[in-house]
Amino acid sequence: MLRIRNRFVNSLIFISIALFSCQSLATALKYRSFTELVLNADAIMQGQVQQISSRRLDNGTIVTFVTLTNLDLHRGDYAFAEFTLVSHGGEVNGLVQKIQGAPQFKLAQNLILFLQGNGKRMVPISGWGQGMFVVNENMVHDYQLNPVLGIVNDQIQVQRLTVPDVILIGAPEPAETTPLLTPMTEAQFIESISRVTVTKRTTQLESVHPETYTLPRHNATELKMSQQ
């Protein structure tokens, strides 16, 4: 009986350690207010995902290219009909590399992206997933498809329906999961963007070319992940 009890206790300890280890490996990012998302972005672009492809680079890093069309620029400078961003992670020939906390893209998505450092940063979006919004039937959702309810005191209010895949340090408490609330409209969200005053000089937004893209020369630590 004692042996069975000890075995049971050891199992509980093992499970607890495993759960703690998984939690400790989660990505932790600094929460960005709405104004911070806007001010840190090189541009704020809306578009539809037309193409997604991944490539394994010479050093073994897998990157994913996402091409947007039907572009509408809410902030920034970009004059072309298509835009391609590159983000670390993806799948090539069954080999998967995943960046915890990085948003995932799907074909035909209508996105509003707060772009930052395309081609230079691991995730070229202000605040990583914090700066990606999905528009469904004119309603705005965050990158995990949680309804965006509004912007209150410069904080984006969401109704958390999905378990978060990242720890946001300093984030406000989400709304209750029930009842299901009505998200912000696309027009309301864009109007909120226009109300943020930006005084810094506009950064030229650059698209990448999947066939010729190479990693920037600076060390990965210089990508300043902690500031994203």
Calculate ∠ Cα 148-43-182, nearest 5°: 10
Q: Which of 143, 129, 139, 174 is nearest to 156 (CA)?
A: 174
Place 193 in a pLDDT band, splitting at 50, 70 and 90. very high
DSSP string, 70-115: EEEEEESB--SS-EEEEEE-EEETTEEE--TT-----TT-EEEEEE
Q: Please, what is the average pLDDT of the chain?
A: 86
Mean pLDDT of 164-186: 90
Can you give the pLDDT at residue 14? 36
Residue 3 reports pLDDT greater than 60: no
Can you give the pLDDT at residue 101? 86
Structure-block tokens of residue 96? 């998967």
Q: pLDDT per residue over 114-130, tens digit each? A: 999 999 999 999 999 99
Q: Please give the model's pTM, rounded to 2 decimal places.
A: 0.84
Residue 156 reports pLDDT greater than 70: yes
Q: pLDDT per residue over 8-59, tens digit each? A: 434 433 333 333 334 445 689 999 999 999 999 999 999 999 999 999 999 9
Whole-angstrom distance, CA of residue 186 vs CA of residue 138: 5
Place 203 in a pLDDT band, splitting at 50, 70 and 90. confident
Can you give the pLDDT at residue 183? 97
Structure-block tokens of residue 228? 């994203």
